[in-house]
Chain A
């Protein structure tokens, strides 16, 4: 979704920031470093780190941003548990759209990747069409 959002808004985003790479934060995401650190602190469950990250985000971006960031982080603490607890595979279309991203971020290393069958040539071919189609569709819907 970050990748699609960056493409649609023609923004400069290095996806490696999702894996915690601070050198990838030079792009167009405002308050990127403090948002990344706050998300890390919520997910890592270290209260001392979280307290520091919260203050940093509050000081740099303000209380409304902090509230919305806490809400998004809280939501995604849930999503992985729904997916893994029910063993759902990635949807065929999502799998096709995200072939490149999954490779770039090395997501196959996660245990839950086993719930999604390996894509193979068919998925790679579908990805060539699916991503541009998704971009066109979301661009239109975002207008």
Chain B
């Protein structure tokens, strides 16, 4: 079965979007860097659970995310810490702290795993949100591909910018040479670079949903798009404002 064919839709969905979403679903099913394919798909399932989670809704209004005890809506076999992290990234991300990530790491939920989890959660969310925006049903999750995670960690990754280690601005070389060019990038591109494939995967989707890094420098009409740059930025800005995005 081919995912993201959008055959049931009457909307003119660009092939670029279909392809990016389809490719991501294929990548989601394969063994990742720190999680198996089955675990990656379980994380995707928790993204959907989080959006309907009563405990998350209640916790979001609490003075502190630690003020309430309760159980997440969940139908996967993921460990509680991992389920909680997915739900927090989706429903209460602005109250995630360095301490939260460090304490999880001390209990075996490493920052490498956390970064891969964030990459999966946000990319699945953005694909689901596209469907929801158009009033289309969510795509069924793929079947996992067997195999073991690679365990790859870029040697040049270091702490110091945010809550997790990242490839430094001048560190996109060797196996990471494709992440950004000429030693120039933005922190949001570096954010998940502890797991380079997480960057590659969300960038491939972002390139079609929004713009490529090269396209970011294009401020007039964008080839192949029906929105000009100002229209795109109005939508981007309004969504970001409601999400209380300082970045």
Which A positions have Cβ atoms within 8 angstroms of B? 1-2, 4-6, 8-9, 11, 13, 15, 17-20, 28-32, 35-36, 38-40, 42-45, 50-51, 54, 62-91, 94, 102, 105, 107-108, 110-113, 115-116, 138-139, 141-142
Q: Which residues of B contact A30 (CB under 8 A)?
A: 228, 231
Map CB proximity to A onto B180-218 as digits: 1 under 8 Å, 0 otherwise: 000000111011100000000010011011100000011
Q: Return the contact of B220 from the options A9, A13, A77, A80 (Cβ within 8 A).
A: A9
Q: Return the contact of B238 from the options A40, A82, A139 (Cβ within 8 A).
A: A40
Q: Which residues of A contact B209 (CB under 8 A)?
A: 71-72, 74-75
Known: A39-B238, A75-B206. A1 touches B125 (CB 8 A): no
Which B positions have Cβ atoms within 8 angstroms of A? 10-14, 17, 51, 88-90, 93-98, 115, 118, 121-123, 125-130, 132-135, 161-164, 166, 186-188, 190-192, 202, 205-206, 208-210, 217-220, 225-247
**Given A9-B219, A50-B132, A89-B162, 17 extra CB contacts under 8 A:** A5-B219, A18-B238, A36-B238, A38-B235, A43-B243, A65-B226, A67-B134, A70-B133, A71-B210, A74-B130, A76-B235, A80-B244, A81-B122, A85-B122, A85-B163, A86-B118, A141-B218
Q: Which residues of A contact B118 (CB under 8 A)?
A: 81-82, 85-86
Known: A2-B237, A43-B239. A110 touches B230 (CB 8 A): no
Inter-chain CB contacts under 8 Å: number: 261
Instruction: Say yes or no: B89 contacts A81, CB within 8 Å.
Output: yes
Where chain B touches its partner, the secondary structure class is: helix
Interface CB pairs A-B, < 8 A, 29: A32-B231, A39-B236, A39-B242, A42-B239, A44-B242, A54-B133, A63-B12, A67-B12, A68-B226, A70-B133, A71-B133, A72-B209, A73-B129, A73-B235, A73-B239, A75-B205, A75-B206, A76-B239, A80-B93, A81-B118, A82-B122, A82-B191, A82-B192, A84-B96, A86-B164, A88-B162, A89-B162, A94-B186, A115-B162
